[in-house]
Amino acid sequence: MRDNVEEFDTKKVIENFERITTDAENVQNETLKKILEENASAEYLQKLGLNGRTDPESFKSCIPLVTYKDLEPYIDRIVDGEFSSIITSEPITAFSLSSGTSQGKQKRLPWNDELFVTTVHIYQTSFAYRNRYLPTDVNGKGLNLIYSSNKLPETKDGIILGTATANVYRNPGYKQTMKEIHSSSCSPDGVIFSPDFHQTLYCHLLCGLIFREQIQFVAATFAHSILYAFRTFEQNWEELCNDIKQGVLSSRITAPSIRTAMSEILKPDPELANLIHTKCLNLSNDWYGLIPEIFPNIKYVQGIMTGAMEPYLKKLRHYARDVPLVTTEYGASEGWIASNVHPEIPPELASYVVLPQIAYFEFIPMAQLDGTQGDIKTVGLTEVKIGEEYELVLTSPAGLYRYKLGDVVKITGFYNSTPELKFIRRSNLMLTINIDKNTETDLQLSVDTAAKYLIEEKMEVVDYTSYIDLSKEPGHYVIFLEISGEPTDELLAKCCNCLDKSFVDPGYTSSRKVKGIDPLELRVVKKGTFRKILEHFVSLGRSATQFKTPRCVGPTNTDMLQILSDNVVNNYFSSAYS
């Protein structure tokens, strides 16, 4: 691993990207060769008889497709202190923890310095194309909603157990990389690397206000984090203004490291405090255009805004007004996959271009999975077909070989010879009782359709999730909604019927008609319920940066189900098929 990354050059990055995407097939073969050569002595590869071969044909014939469950015994051995070449030639000394929000259990995924290098490639590529379209000033700052810790948890044998983002932030090359792509954070390290999420968020917002004239962009890993931050701002703006006016940090900030860091930049500024106070008073009716009003020189708002993040775009646009929303990258805790090189396209329509040098990719045609059972055949990166859907398979530099990510993507085109893709859904169907098959997208469309009734009454869906209730035969869908305002029973009954009718999957509609599936149930939860869910996961040591509201709560996610159940204020059953 290099101690210092190369000096960033937008033109050079774009030229290199054009070169490797034009020669994607050869780049993929070289990438696989490099991964297998560097890990030839790994027990996992030797046990499966690869015997040092590095060609794609031998690799696919010897190494099986796997899921996390298949690799867990090897990972357990490493976590338990077996310091040897189990899945990589060099011992694994750190793991990335997945968010664990879907099933309530975190995956422990191997991390090494090579994954930091791929992260640099992804960040640089996205920034190069974004900055060409929306250039920022070299001396500008970003409100980067980053949450990390100087001290990550370790096993008794010293193996670090952090999140993927925390492993990136702690790398010595991270700060230098960020400086080189002109994205200096307005928050000092003492705020970013702190022991408390809520105190960090408060000070991120405070730093953003102090440097409001210099803020060029607002950024977070996921759109949800940006939305959460500005909802928090709505509740705390008066206290933030008072801190600026007095030059004294709120007593709510108790972490010594944060107070020390903030003492360097927080000085009494009554003029700034009064300006912000006046703006907030004028906005506080509905907070439309909050972001450009508070940050007059902002160029864009960035983060991952596709997939599970799309439901938050409407509210983000409300805050952003005419400030562009830019989706950035596509990846998972297992590794990065693709960058957005078309930042001018709205997130809902955006595709991501796969970087052929950061991992070896295979694709399982969904048509094959949905057909007859038999040996699963994959196709290579350059062999996919436009318009087709595939499940992604990843081979990474950190010891994941032919690993099924569980993501279904659709190929929307090619950028030179590498594919552009959109995330469609997780491969395990979200909502299914018998022959019905409703995905995350189907659920989102159903909620969006029902939300129109709320919008007419000046209300909105704050957040939502779903659950399959099989406590009695034949089972039914449960939709949990948190709603702003005070909707009437009549309005909520109408929303419930609309949710039910908006699932148009033939398996669902036919099952509802013959009573093979019971009426859909709408459960309305108290205001702040989804905030409680985030706070619960953070209290368990999970990363706020990685948090994603699961759109379907699995039966093993008992903590989330309990929070939802404890906060239900009313429920309604559909009469749509009566």
Please write the tens of the pLDDT for every residue from 132-191: 999 988 788 999 998 876 556 677 677 777 777 777 777 777 767 766 665 688 999 899
Q: Is residue 510 located within the same domain as residue 527?
A: yes
Q: Are residues 73 and 148 in the same domain?
A: no
- Domain holding 541, by residue range, is 440-573
187 in a structural domain: yes
Do 289 and 370 share a domain, yes or no? no
In a domain, 120, yes or no: no
User: How many angstroms separate the Cα of 86 from the Cα of each of 75, 82, 527?
Assistant: 9, 8, 48
Q: How many domains does the chain have?
A: 3
- Shared-domain flag, residues 163 and 28: no
Q: What is the C-alpha radius of gyration for the chain, rounded to an integer number of angstroms? A: 24
DSSP letter string, 442-505? HHHHHHHHHHHHHHHTT--EEEEEEEEE-SSTT-EEEEEEEESS---HHHHHHHHHHHHHH---
Model pLDDT for residues 98-125, shown as the tens digit of each residue:
766 555 578 889 988 888 889 888 999 9
What rounded mean pLDDT belongs to the chain? Answer: 90
Residues 97/106, Cβ–Cβ less than 8 Å: yes
For residue 20, pLDDT over 70 is answered with yes
pLDDT tens string 348-366: 999 999 999 999 999 999 9
| Residue at 117 is within a domain | no
**Do 483 and 384 belong together in one domain?**
no
Per-residue pLDDT tens digits for 384-406: 999 999 999 999 999 999 999 99
pLDDT band of 4, cuts 50, 70, 90? very low
Question: Residue 407 in 3-state DSSP?
Answer: strand
Confidence of residue 6 (pLDDT cuts 50, 70, 90): very low
Q: Does residue 102 form part of some domain?
A: no
- Within-domain flag for 5: no
pLDDT reported for residue 321: 96
Domain boundary among 426, 452, 483: 426
Structural domain includes residue 408? yes
6 or 114: whose pLDDT is higher? 114
Same domain, 217 and 306: yes
Residue 31 lies in a domain: yes
- Strand-strand pairing, 329-332 and 335-339: antiparallel
Same domain, 89 and 150: no
Q: Is residue 151 part of a domain?
A: yes
Reply yes or no on whether the pLDDT at 462 is more than 80.
yes
The verdict on 57 and 153 lying in the same domain is: no
Using the predicted structure, report yes or no on whether residue 2 has a pLDDT greater than 50.
Answer: no
Choose between 374 and 214: higher pLDDT: 214
Mean pLDDT of the 90-94 span = 85
CA atoms within 13 A on the CB side of 262: 32
- pLDDT higher at 159 or 223: 223
Give the model's pLDDT for residue 103.
Answer: 54
pLDDT at position 451, please? Answer: 95
Burial class of 471 by CB neighbour count within 10 A (0 to 12, 13 to 18, 19+): exposed
Q: Do 511 and 367 belong together in one domain?
A: no
Is residue 80 located within the same domain as residue 204?
no
**Do 21 and 68 reside in the same domain of the chain?**
yes
pLDDT, position 3: 37
Q: What is the pLDDT of residues 200-221, one digit of tens each?
A: 999 999 999 999 999 999 999 9
Do 264 and 372 lie in one domain? The reply is no
- Out of 426, 458, 483, a domain closes at 426
pLDDT tens-digit readout, 262-277 = 999 999 999 999 999 9
Q: Residue 310 has what DSSP assignment?
A: G
Q: What are the residue ranges of helices labelled H in 295-439? A: 313-320, 366-369
